[in-house]
A and B are shown apart, each in its own frame.
Chain A
């Protein structure tokens, strides 16, 4: 937003890969659907249901638009974790049910935990999970994928943007390699939507996952792109009323869906300006850190990377100790899901970082609502914490 505040917020929130502030404009768009228009969007027998249904369909249009997809290719879910579960387990189970002999499911060692677990879960059902390593810059080597595809493969899942190190995989290139080998291709776009241009149709992916709360929308809603031509097929994770073309049963939460739609609409409209501004803030922070803390290192490709992510290894004894010294700065030691764990990040390990370096690393996520003052605060806090001093509090 152009009218970003110039004074720092407290606490300063720089963990925008964990979750984002719900944009006030998204909240405004949602509120009437919580309070006045509470009809069940599936109750199309009466006007209140039909009004809610129309709002859901408008939102579907916004989600389809940012993905370059058709509205009929969008299935609403409770979030990217559910979308990833449906895409991976659903595609594998569908293939197995209809007699497909292929068992291999390929993903990458640095994927989000829910992708790793969904693929790993499939081993119990007779599938063959393959986890490909990444290069030291966090990117998947296309030749590693080609080699893995020498065994007939059902599905390849590669995230577009990594949640810890922000690196951008070459999804169109990898999808083409998978297609050539006859495999389906899924991509987790949770961290990509609104950060880089995405085009599910143009990229020729079969399945793609979207999250609401990573793009300034509400928690509890997401979407799955399911290609129509040629048709990607999945079995549902659970059944019931048969909503969402049978892919995902359950009453659609109209207000949350409206919020996701509005978040996608804003992301499409403001991505260029957001990115330019965030890029400048990121450079400002990185320049400051390099000057104030000699020996800081950035993990993952700096070229193939979203603007809003810095993953920095500090020359200190421990990143956790740094966090304790700056209670008013919200940054993280890894992904949110696992950040309560003491284990070093498996993503950094996959990059070849020793555990000692991983434990000295912080993820810094800059977002739409980050101000220059927030950045200056963060630089000072990190520099102080690095040299053993408390900051703020």
Chain B
């Protein structure tokens, strides 16, 4: 099986495995005051320090959560209270579901948010919260966060950034971006699943919890911290992947797919090096994914969420791609992608494209029941 679905989950990096294995040997609860508890506490705070330093926040402003979804939800819950909310049209379902009545900020055909619309919306009305993802999970499109943050700040609005797909792939620094909060997910950068974090700007540090409990995380998130997962997360912070090599492999793969009739969604804008969204006109996304799965290639038809049912991508629809929104697959290269996997994809894609496209015309040859 060749795994090209890194945006669903990056393979665990060996550094994370080593740190987690060691952390599983630590018995204590970080909230206990005895020796075992203090050892656990040290592990927790060292990890917090490293994560804070990597992503440009203060240690006390890192709130560990169960993942990116909870981090986004906590941000919306805490920063959105009493504010009108605008979210990017291509946001992840975690943000969309947490802000059901929100105004959508449209994107252009490359998937980039229209900051003129944002400016107009910010100009009048009550205090606002804006949510904009740093990099899109389906297309890899990178949003102009620095500009959006400056706009928000100049209008007294808050900006929450879902940096789940960006972290580990491009520079993510809360202070440098100028946003008010940042959601991260450990398993999207080669750490373990089941852990995320909400990073807060210094002026937003006191927030109401979504999950209340024993006063952990300075009262912002109850529950015993997931110590080994936190150690695994810290261990992968700051690890680099050769982005130029990833981009070269992705570009080659794209060129090959394009030769077989593919259209690259969002290909004209700034993107993550590892991601491509390939539409094959006339062929349903699920048909493509199943065909590739049978060839031993793991890709996806969009976000890997609830059901396994393939829905038309709201991301591609927002980019104005119409019917292609149901005919696109996401290929996302993991940090340890091999040359062999790229070649296997190219071969399988060519076969799939050749088989699928004539199939629609050949189907007329099948006699239909009168």
Which residues from chain A sit less than 8 Å from chain B, CB to CB? 11, 13, 15, 18-22, 27, 31, 34-35, 38-40, 42-49, 77-82, 84-85, 112-114, 117-118, 121, 213, 218-221, 237-243, 246, 249-256, 323, 327-333, 335-340
Contact = CB atoms under 8 A, between A and B. Distances in A.
Given A42-B306, A45-B308, A238 B77 contact: yes
B305 A114 contact: no
A249 B5 CA distance: 20
Contacts of A114: 211-214, 222-223
Contacts of A85: 210-213, 222
Contact of B194 (A27, A38, A78): A78
A79 B70 contact: no
B306 A243 contact: yes
Given A238-B70, A240-B97, A219 B286 contact: no
A188 B133 CA distance: 37
A332 B35 CA distance: 11
B31 A40 contact: no
Given A240-B72, A242-B305, A256 B193 contact: yes
Contacts of A82: 66, 211, 222-223
B223 A78 contact: yes
Given A38-B9, A47-B293, A114-B222, A333 B66 contact: no
Contacts of B65: 78
Interface string B137-154: 000000000000000000
Contacts, number: 281
A217 to B, nearest CB: 11
Contact of A253 (B24, B192, B293): B192
B213 A337 contact: yes
Nearest to B195: A220
Contact of B35 (A11, A21, A219, A256): A11
A309 B32 CA distance: 17
Given A19-B27, A249-B69, A339-B33, A238 B305 contact: no
B93 A240 contact: yes
Given A18-B37, A252-B193, 9 more contacts: A19-B32, A78-B226, A79-B226, A81-B211, A81-B224, A118-B212, A218-B228, A219-B227, A239-B98
A16 B354 CA distance: 61
A48 B2 CA distance: 10
A220 B310 contact: no
A88 B97 CA distance: 21
A48 B98 contact: no
Contacts of B278: none
Nearest to A320: B33
B298 A39 contact: yes
B200 interface: no
Contact of B70 (A45, A78, A118): A78
B370 interface: no
Interface in B196-252: 210-216, 222-229
Interface string B1-13: 1010100111110
Interface string B80-92: 0000000000001
B337 to A, nearest CB: 13
Looking at A20, A40, A218, A240, the one whose CB has the most chain B CB atoms below 10 A away is A240
Contact of B98 (A113, A221, A238, A331): A238
Contact of B29 (A121, A333, A336): A336
A45 B289 contact: yes
28 contacts: A15-B29, A22-B24, A31-B21, A42-B305, A42-B306, A43-B304, A45-B290, A45-B308, A79-B224, A81-B222, A118-B212, A213-B224, A238-B69, A238-B73, A239-B94, A241-B304, A241-B306, A243-B305, A249-B93, A250-B69, A251-B193, A256-B193, A327-B35, A329-B34, A330-B32, A331-B34, A332-B33, A340-B31
B305 A11 contact: no
Contact of A249 (B94, B185, B229): B94
Contacts of B3: 38-39, 48
A311 B81 CA distance: 43
Interface of B: 1, 3, 5, 8-12, 16-17, 20-21, 24, 27-29, 31-37, 65-70, 72-74, 77, 92-94, 97-98, 185, 187, 192-195, 210-216, 222-229, 286, 289-290, 292-293, 297-301, 303-308, 310
Contacts of B1: 46-48
B315 to A, nearest CB: 14
A77 B223 CA distance: 11
A31 B35 CA distance: 27
A173 B31 CA distance: 34
Nearest 4 pairs of A and B residues by beta carbon? A337-B214, A220-B226, A253-B194, A241-B305
A46 B289 contact: yes
Looking at A22, A31, A219, the one whose CB has the most chain B CB atoms below 10 A away is A219
Nearest to A10: B35
Looking at A45, A114, A339, the one whose CB has the most chain B CB atoms below 10 A away is A45
A27 B24 contact: yes
A240 B222 contact: no
Contact of B214 (A46, A113, A333): A113
A18 B289 contact: no
A43 B187 contact: no
B139 to A, nearest CB: 18
B194 A113 contact: no
Looking at B37, B223, B305, the one whose CB has the most chain A CB atoms below 10 A away is B223
A43 B31 contact: no
A119 to B, nearest CB: 10
A46 B5 contact: yes
A246 B229 CA distance: 24
A339 B305 contact: no
Nearest to B11: A38
A232 to B, nearest CB: 20
Contacts of B286: 45
Given A251-B69, A330-B28, A336 B9 contact: no
B93 A49 contact: no
A221 B16 CA distance: 18
B303 A241 contact: yes
Contacts of A15: 28-29, 32, 34, 36-37
Given A19-B224, A78-B226, A254 B70 contact: no
